[in-house]
Amino acid sequence: MGSTDTKLDMLTNSIKELKGSIEGLKSTVEIIKETIERETMDGMISRQSPLVASGKAIEVLKKVNLLSEIDAKSDFILAEVDKESKLFIYTDLKTPEERITEIAPSIVHELIKAGKIEEKKVDLALKELEKIFGANVATYYGVLMLITAYILEKRRKEGSSISDTAPQKLVDFAMLSIPNIISSQDPVELLQKYNWDIDKAISELEKTLRVLGVVDEKKEVSLTLKLAALYEKKGQLNKALEVCKKALQIFDRIEDQRGVATAYHQLGIIAQEKPHLDEAERWYRKALEIFERLGIERGIAAIYHQLGMIAQERLHLDEAEQWYRKALEIFERLNLEIDAAYDYHQLGMIAQERQQFDVAEQWYRKALEIFERLGLERYAADEYHQLGMIAEERRQFDVAEQWYRKALEIYDKIGHPPLKVNTLAQFGVLRFRQRRYHSVAWFAKAYEIASAYNMPVAERIKSDLRRLLEVMGREDFVRAWREATGQEPRIDEIKVKGGKTEGEKLN
């Protein structure tokens, strides 16, 4: 009996402790709730709050008396928004929230230019923002969006149909997205800042361009080229071409020769992706002529690199190597490590084509050292893939599999399916070489992605699938495909031969 009493006492004490913990937790929640309510001003967390750092930005505008000027002009700003929203270009803006977000920044900018809002106060706001957030975060364009967020919050509190989250989202866009985009030197850096989410990067860049379009034409056209590059990387080549030609027209109009050359370079990349190699080479040589005349060495080296890729695609390996080495001499001299790493990678590809596997491995490892050290996982994954192919050629199949799995782990983490197509397909080749016919599972996954994204490599994968269909027979092939994808294989589509195939074939 005593034992039972002891257990009851222990259970009672445990219940008391648990009750105390629950009460403590409830108390903590109340404290956090009170803190948020106390530190929220105009719907956003105040400057002193440790809860949401970007909310400090609105407090800065109040501190320099900029918001008092906005209060005095808000009726005028909203009237102008209403007037401009009737223009044809804004007919797709259906709600007050959309109209204010899209149109108000340009109206505020015009008021600043006309001296009706003190530019000195904007400058003071920028200095204060720089002290808190750093030089890269404090931008004029960001200030325009912060002011717009303040106007949105005022309208929300007055009962307009503005969502509760809209003002804070705009603050975050001003303090996070715009600095990310403006400070990024190239699309790769921009993608890295958005964790390789290409749709998010495109969306934020397009939003920023709508602000810049009325503020800074030169910066706008520079970012327009980045947008073209992002569309190209996404595989939307016609959209990339349209955006790039728009940028070229602006560069021509403002007589910016460096910009014209950069646009020619991007037009060459788009043509090369199609792949229209002769057209691409013409664009590259037009760009090279301008870069050489202006003495812009990095631009010259970038074109050498692209001409090397054109020669390599034509299987003119000696010519390609010459171009890459010319580019590499400049990149190494200018200490441009990432650019140099791209050339190391391509020189590795040429050595691999020549069956010089030891030389290829040395080049890939040189590139890998740079990408790993600089935290460029997405490009490190490409080197893992190539090292896997080298191991596979040496018939070190277990080693090859380890490299491919390292590459796939990164591609899966990034979440952009086309990145992993080549590695999935190469895994299929590896399994076939091992005479393990469930290789169809890997090819099936690769083909589903490649066909969904209209990737040229889909034809090569389809060729490999045709060979597997012949070797395995229809029944085994269909069963393996179902197990891999949960869907029926498109046998008739796979049997149809497409255009020319590229890359390694099953053997």
411-445: per-residue pLDDT in tens?
Answer: 998 887 888 999 999 999 998 888 765 788 898 88
CB 446 within 8 A of CB 456: no
pLDDT band at 271 (very low <50, low <70, confident <90, very high): very high
Structure token pair of residue 459: 């034809």
Predicted local distance difference test score (pLDDT) of residue 503: 38
106-120 in b/e burial notation, b at 16+ Cβ within 10 A?
Answer: bbbbebbeeeebeee
Q: What pLDDT, on the 0 to 100 scale, is given for residue 160? A: 77
Averaged pLDDT, 361-370: 97
**Do residues 212 and 219 touch, judged by C-beta distance below 8 A?**
yes
Going by pLDDT thresholds of 50, 70 and 90, the confidence category of residue 317 is very high
E-strand ranges in 108-187 read: none
DSSP three-state, residue 73: helix
Cα separation, 55 vs 175, in Å, equals 9
Q: Is the pLDDT of residue 290 over 60?
A: yes
Q: What's the confidence (pLDDT) of residue 27?
A: 46
Question: What is the average pLDDT across 341-364?
Answer: 97
What percentage of the chain reaches a pLDDT higher than 90?
32
pLDDT in the model for residue 385: 97
In this structure, are strands 40-41 and 44-45 parallel, antiparallel, or unpaired?
A: antiparallel
Q: What is the pLDDT of residue 125?
A: 84
Element (H, E) at 44: strand 44-45
More confident residue, 102 or 107: 107
Which SS3 state, helix, strand or coil, does residue 417 take? helix
325 has a pLDDT exceeding 50: yes
Please provide the average confidence, as pLDDT, over all residues in the chain.
Answer: 80
Residue 33: what pLDDT? 41
Section 79-97 average pLDDT: 78
Residue 507 confidence (pLDDT) above 60:
no
pLDDT of 21-59, one tens digit each? 445 444 444 443 443 343 333 333 333 322 233 467 778
495: pLDDT strictly greater than 80: no
- pLDDT band, very low/low/confident/very high, at 497 (cuts 50, 70, 90): low
Residue 171 banded pLDDT, cuts 50, 70, 90:
low
Task: Give the residue with greater pLDDT, 194 vs 152.
Answer: 152
- Residues of the chain with pLDDT > 70, as a percent, come to 76
Q: Tens of pLDDT along 379-418?
A: 999 999 999 999 999 999 999 999 999 999 999 988 878 8
Residues recorded for the chain: 507
